[in-house]
Amino acid sequence: MNVANTLLLFVLTAIAEIVGCYLPYLWLREGKSIWLLVPAAISLAIFAWLLTLHPTAAGRVYAAYGGVYIGVAIVWLWLVDGIRPTAWDLLGAAVAMLGMAIIMFAPRQ
């Protein structure tokens, strides 16, 4: 799997997880319909399935995925929550993405 496909798969995985967690948040904190739990459960099932598509050891995938999740969550903060990320938010996301790149793309024996 090439770098672009790996990153795209990580981004889709992060979106599925965030949606799966955001919908219950809307129900619990914003008083939205309990029926949001149905698409939330589906989204979390898709998230788990997407994690299985990565072609490396599960622990490595989970560790690297955390970096992408942070980056996608910062974008979510901006686009969905309407809060512009600070320079510190962006720096933290960049550091996390660098960690992901080191974990996923380092040469292996």
The predicted model scores a pTM of 0.87
CA 87 to chain centre: 20
Instruction: Give whole-number Cα distances, 42 to 14, 21, 37, 82, in Å.
Output: 14, 11, 9, 25
Six token digits for residue 108:
């292996």
Digits of tens for pLDDT over the chain (109 positions)? 688 888 899 999 999 999 999 999 999 999 999 999 999 999 999 999 998 898 777 888 888 889 999 999 999 999 999 999 999 999 999 999 999 889 888 887 7
Specify the residue for token string 């739990």. 37
